[in-house]
Structure 1
Amino acid sequence: MAQTLVSTCAATACSFNNGGCTVAMTMGERGCATFAKLDARRSVAANGLVGACQRLECVHNSDLVCTAASIDVTADAACAAFEAR
């Protein structure tokens, strides 16, 4: 199963956002659980992926894996693709 691409990330305070998400993130009940507000930036250029999803009520969640083709992360680190079952 292919992992879901993070198309855009507007959470500019996150240390893993360096012109886009640079990690395999976990989406939790309160948004991106991988969000880190530190005085550092990950410099590696990469396309972020959704490694796991804890939003059980989302239609894109199948066995804790996001099945959306891609997602956008909002400024408050929420998943814009979230859709309740």
Structure 2
Amino acid sequence: MTAAVEMPRVEECVVAACSYNDTGDCHAFAITIGSPDHAHCHTFVEMPAIRGGVDGMTAQVGACQRADCRHNEQLECHAPGIRVGPDNDMADCMTYDER
């Protein structure tokens, strides 16, 4: 059995249209980042009438599919924290840094 490691936190999310976003804080339990072509936040949900997540919780990066990011080791993010914002898509990891 392996011990759980501390996952990086989503320090800021400026994607106001996401149902997990509450005044710049992501309240999902964990998010997934990445596609083969860019660092998209796969947890992004746009449902204006519904707020998601858990009050008082700050999201963590549960998985990252961008193996070409310098923060990625075995599909786990090792950045101290990440920012999510608009780039190629509605919600992308702005901490992504190609190796």
Q: Same fold per TM (> 0.5)?
A: yes
Instruction: Report the counterpart of residue 84 of structure 2 in structure 1.
Output: 73
Letter of the structure 2 residue corresponding to residue 18 of structure 1: D
What does 1:2-17 correspond to in 2, within 5 Å? 2-17=6-21
Structure 1: gaps (5+ residues): none
Paired positions, count: 85
Structure whose CA Rg is larger? 2
Letter of the structure 2 residue corresponding to residue 17 of structure 1: N
- Residue identity (%): 36
Cα distance in 1 between the residues matched to 2:46 and 2:21: 10
Once the two structures are superposed, what CA deviation does each residue of 1:18-68 show, in whole Å capped at 9, x if it has no partner?
121011100022410010001211262211110100111101111111000
TM-score by length of 2: 0.79
Structure 2: gaps (5+ residues): none
- Indicate the RMSD between aligned Cα atoms, in angstroms: 1.3
**Which fold has the larger relative contact order, with Cα–Cα distance below 8 Å and residues 6 or more apart in sequence?**
1
**Is 1:33 aligned to 2:42, yes or no?**
yes
Cα distance in 2 between the residues matched to 1:63 and 1:54: 9
